[in-house]
A = this chain, B = another copy of it.
Amino acid sequence: MTKAPTLDDVARYAGVSRTLVSTALRGKGRVAASTRLRILAACKAVGYRPNLTARSLASGRSSVLGVLLADVLNTFFAAVADAVSRHADQAGLTTLIATGQHTEAGERHAVEQLTAQRPQGVVLLGPTMAEEGLLPLLGATPTVSISRVLGGVSRGAIALDEEAGVRLVVEHLAGLGHRSITHIDGGSGVSADERRTAFLARTRAAGVQPQIFPGSFDISGGYRAARALLAAGRLPTAIWAANDRAAAGVLLALREAGVRVPGDVSVMGYDDVTMRAGTELHLTSVRQPIDAMGQLAVERILAPDATDVGTVRLEPSLVVRGSTGPAPTPVS
């Protein structure tokens, strides 16, 4: 295997021209059945593997869909990437993922590598870089941005409707009679901000007393925050954690302290995807439309024209399980 066999090798072996092998292999123009068989046999005999690089250089296109991921460990984006990949597969595209590691240099590098594939399109999953830096790199590549709203991106942006999600949380809890809700937030990220802001606005609108406690998007953040709440003696009747992982931490701390859920305190999570903890922990939560995001992204990339591609915010849905219940009547 000192040198990969080329089309010419196959052609020579089969006693035909290179062009014929090419067309036969791609099944485009008509080739005599007997010749095709001979060619196929030759391919196998020679051990031919098409060089997709050359193919894409010659044809000017490829069946690749590029995905720019901040980092494989972010479960949310990884789940979206997975959804994109599944839908791309179904459309006959191969997904190639590059990670930017949250740095501008890394993302630049990744996008360059991705666009170099002359891909059918690129999906940006929560890029770090500013739009001005990204757009020139993308050039004419059909691009959709997920989660971050990039106005100039050719095929528009797909975002989550955080306000709708937060509304589901507040209305569910308020509907159960809770007059005071504590939000354990997700720290300083963009979505943590959005959720916090929406929470404040929504509770006000619902006439519910809001309280914000600093936390993070992981189990330890929820655990720590709940313990702090416990220590401060400021336990509300309802807690909404920034996501399901944090909510698991809250449950842990609460149960450790002998607090009953949902008897004494109702707990809600939000949006987690990998852990699927919700089911077994009976966590009431808000489910994000991950699959729909992936599907829409691929559809937009594949759409022949770029009409109707503004920013769309997909709506999440409420999943009621056992961790929330009626607010306990004050003993007073």
- Using a CB–CB distance below 8 Å, which chain A residues touch chain B? 1-2, 4, 47, 49-54, 56-57, 64, 71-73, 75, 78-79, 81-82, 85-86, 89, 94-99, 101, 106, 109-110, 112-113, 115-118, 136-137, 139-140, 218-221, 223-224, 245, 248-249, 251-252, 255-256, 258, 273-277, 279-281
Contact = CB atoms under 8 A, between A and B. Distances in A.
The quantity of this chain's copies bound in the complex is 2
A139 B1 contact: yes
Nearest to A114: B96
Given A53-B56, A106-B89, A274-B73, A113 B97 contact: no
Contact of A109 (B94, B117, B221, B256): B94
Nearest to A96: B96
A276 to B, nearest CB: 7
A155 to B, nearest CB: 15
B112 A89 contact: no
A219 B275 contact: yes
Given A1-B140, A255-B256, A258-B258, 4 more contacts: A73-B82, A218-B276, A218-B277, A249-B277
Contacts of A224: 280
Rank and list the top 8 A-B pairs by shortest CB-CB distance, nearest first.
A220-B280, A52-B116, A97-B97, A255-B256, A72-B78, A94-B113, A219-B277, A255-B255
A113 B256 contact: no
A51 to B, nearest CB: 6
A137 B56 CA distance: 19
23 contacts: A1-B139, A2-B140, A4-B140, A47-B136, A51-B57, A52-B116, A52-B117, A53-B117, A53-B118, A72-B72, A72-B78, A72-B79, A73-B75, A73-B274, A78-B78, A94-B98, A94-B113, A95-B98, A218-B277, A220-B276, A220-B277, A221-B280, A251-B252
Contacts of A245: 275
A218 B106 CA distance: 32
B281 A113 contact: no
A1 B256 CA distance: 61
A138 to B, nearest CB: 10
B274 A219 contact: no
Contacts of A115: 49
Nearest to A52: B116
